[in-house]
Homo-oligomer: A and B are copies of this chain.
């Protein structure tokens, strides 16, 4: 595997963990990162420790004090010695994208076309490389697919839905399907214990709440932090989700594995414990060529955190995407189309 220089758009929980995680992986060099107010670029490799220390949400973590979320023009990335304040962080990254092999888009996607639009801005600038997102909603994949030609013309390999679910577990379902000639059902069931990671992952919790009965993406976006706390309180910190709109369904359908309607996604989020409330399991039920009906399963150890299971696959799929891109394969790829590199 050749060396990969990558950028991270967004330094919330996922973006920061991706930077951190990459320091423990071979062949990956983070060369750029931005948030709303700042951009840091170093083609020899960012000093991740310094950047993370300067990034919002990562301060005042000692002594058990609750993390303080900061904002403003000199907070977040801009507070790093490696960074400059900016009003146009994404354009600044696009300006140097000739030297960037892959970009992890770790921005909240509260508008359905936000991530596709970011991709389009890279395409308009003639970017030739990999874009990776960890988005969750099925309908975003449709938007990406509708714009596939734009990415192809530019030379972009867009790897979508490459986090834990969809992503890791979609890939597992695609693999588990190999025993069968016809898939009847794919059940994805996740458990997340998010006590110590709660502050870092408020965006994810907000997105999850949009899946609850009575909420949608619009109403969830408009909730105040206090209202979110109330919802969490009502559930005693432990919220169960059923029939979520997670893109595993369309990603498995576009790979020809099963119909989207045969895929169900659900899980339990516990924000008051770091123990997982339930074991993350993928169950794939199908018919074998010789007429048996069976269920293959893939289980993650309860000790593996959400952060490990989002960021490992995101970077693994990024490596796989770079390989496709270097072979001249452009367009939109789901996890089921790619074996993650390690």
Distance between A116 CB and nearest chain B CB, rounded to angstroms:
24
Q: B340, A337: Cβ atoms under 8 Å?
A: no
Q: Closest B residue to A21 by CB, please name it.
A: B289
Interface membership of chain A positions 57-100, coded 1 if the CB is closer than 8 angstroms to chain B and 0 otherwise? 00000000000000000000000000000000000000000000
A164 to B50, CA, bound (A): 46
Distance between A325 CB and nearest chain B CB, rounded to angstroms:
10
Interface membership of chain A positions 309-334, coded 1 if the CB is closer than 8 angstroms to chain B and 0 otherwise? 10111001000100010011100000
A275 to B39, CA, bound (A): 60
Q: Decide if A307 is an interface residue (CB 8 Å cutoff).
A: yes
Q: Closest B residue to A314 by CB, please name it.
A: B178
Segment touching B, from A121-129, A167-175, A206-214, A237-245? A167-175
Partner of A312 from B168, B180, B316 at Cβ < 8 Å: B180
Distance between A20 CB and nearest chain B CB, rounded to angstroms:
7
Of residues A172, A296, A338, which shows the largest number of chain B Cβ atoms within 10 Å of its Cβ? A296
Q: Decide if A235 is an interface residue (CB 8 Å cutoff).
A: no
Q: A308, B296: Cβ atoms under 8 Å?
A: no
Q: B309, A340: Cβ atoms under 8 Å?
A: no
Q: A256, B292: Cβ atoms under 8 Å?
A: no
Q: Decide if A339 is an interface residue (CB 8 Å cutoff).
A: yes
A324 to B17, CA, bound (A): 32
Q: Decide if A300 is an interface residue (CB 8 Å cutoff).
A: yes
Q: B296, A174: Cβ atoms under 8 Å?
A: no
A289 to B257, CA, bound (A): 31
If the complex has contacts A305-B288, A308-B289, are A178 and B327 also in contact, measured as CB distance less than 8 A?
Answer: no
In the A-B complex, the 7 residue pairs with the closest CB atoms: A294-B301, A339-B339, A294-B303, A288-B308, A24-B181, A292-B303, A179-B304
- What are the residues of chain B within 8 A of A324 when measuring CB–CB? 327
Of residues A20, A290, A302, A329, which shows the largest number of chain B Cβ atoms within 10 Å of its Cβ? A290
Interface membership of chain A positions 1-33, coded 1 if the CB is closer than 8 angstroms to chain B and 0 otherwise? 100000000000000010011001110000000
Interface membership of chain A positions 273-312, coded 1 if the CB is closer than 8 angstroms to chain B and 0 otherwise? 0000000000000001110111111111111110111011
Q: B171, A312: Cβ atoms under 8 Å?
A: no
Q: Decide if A342 is an interface residue (CB 8 Å cutoff).
A: yes
Q: B299, A303: Cβ atoms under 8 Å?
A: no
Q: Closest B residue to A340 by CB, please name it.
A: B178
If the complex has contacts A172-B175, A327-B327, are A308 and B180 also in contact, measured as CB distance less than 8 A?
Answer: yes
